[in-house]
Structure 1
Amino acid sequence: MNDLAIRQDIIDELGFEPSVDAANIGVAVEEGVVTLSGHVGSYAEKIAAEMAVKRVKGVRALAETLEVRYAGRKQHADDEIAARALDIIEWDALLPNGAIDVRVQKGWVTLSGEVPWHFQRIAAEKAVMKLGGVIGVTNVLSIKPAASIPDVKSRIVGALKRNAEVEADHIEVAVAGGNVTLKGGVAGWRERTAAERAAWSTPGVISVTNNLAVTG
């Protein structure tokens, strides 16, 4: 697909996504690399726009400079955002009590601490990203598995082969002390994300470096 066709598909997809107001979003495409510019009404909307772009066939990479601009009634003080973030984390049944620290500076939330699983790391970020006043989230939560697991590499390879969204033969898996690196090429962002998710879902994994290239 050429860049003009990809750009039009992205514009159409952003317009199709009900959680995104695309009126103030600019789209540029060069050799499959997409740049989003302009502004949106919340951080959650910004993430939704990024996900919509990654669904489009032919997109190889995404660079975005979208600014989050809240209406006056949606703006909140940092201490109020922090208190709400701690409450929503405490109420989330997926997250361990007392394991996550929250810091807020000018609407930007930083999550730190240790959790046993990557899905909990993601759950914590999703819990706070929809709060009013949040303009961004930095997630530095580290993974500390409850126990050391043998054969991490073979478990990941098995998971990739079972996944209908992934062509496992084109993916190389390297493991060193719970740190996983994925190399090779995939057809699209969806396959790239699915491969990373399979790696993260394996017990004993503490980090994943996704070097998979989207080759189309």
Structure 2
Amino acid sequence: MAVAAKNHTDHRISQKGAIVSWLLLMILLLLLIGVVVYAVLGRSGRTARVDGSDVKEAWASVKGASQNAVTTSKVKSALALSKNVSAFDINVDSSGGVVTLRGTVPSQESRRIAEEIARDTDGVKEVKNQISVDHSAKPDPQMANLGTRVSDLELRTRLDDTLDKDSSLRDDDIKIDVQNGVVNLDGEVDTTEEKRAAEAQAWRLNDIKDVRNNLRVKGQEETDQPKDELAKRVEFELYSSRAFNLEPINVRSSQGVVILDGQVRSQAEKILAGKLAHDVDGVKSVKNNLSVMPEAEPSAPSTQPTE
């Protein structure tokens, strides 16, 4: 009995020891899992936070670089439109709204103009003008030609729009070419008045150096010699006054003397034509050979036979 009791007691102790060992093992296993999970999740969280910060920094860097590029492009475009500095190689750098200009120009005036253009550009907060002045600096031929070509294209577009808005000219076959500020008109128009009107519209544009009117009038042979500059200016003044029908009026000049030939509708028109011609710069005197058109005689009343 004593041995059986002892064996029973030992068995119970053994069972308890097994249970405790199992519990300890489970606790240790849970602790180990917890440590691993904490290590993994903690490190992932830190990585995520680092990665998020890196993304924000990268985005800010890209955004800043994009804004700098836009500002640089705007300043370069503005400089390219200036006749004073467009032909010179001016380097533009932008950082956070601060623009730095580098290069060489031939005068202090050009240097100041470049700075003011940059300062007036949208997005520019500050300008660091590091442009040097060298009176022997020469413009870049390619840039100079590009600026001239752009100016010519602008003039051609403006004249084309102007002629298109003129109801008497929009349907005519007029070809426009501009080279170094000189306008060439080619094509056909219906009347001499339209030919003169097209030339007058061209002279109205700013920056025009000369107009070569090669327009042909339908049904007429070209026998006239090209008009000299002074005669052109007188014709332009007559046209601008809107007081004359220029079809029957011919304007010539020789050594500063302007000769007016043809017909006008009244003595007042003849006097006005002479005065306008005399007021043109470069005219020394005017020979007014204009004659007044005879008034049409009133037609006799028709007589109806009486019954």
TM over 0.5: no
More helix by percentage? 2
Q: Which range, TM-score by smaller chain?
A: 0.3 to 0.5
> What is the TM-score of this pair, normalised by structure 2?
0.25
> What is the TM-score of this pair, normalised by structure 1?
0.35
More strand by percentage? 1
Return the structure number with greater relative CO, CA threshold 8 A, min gap 6: 1
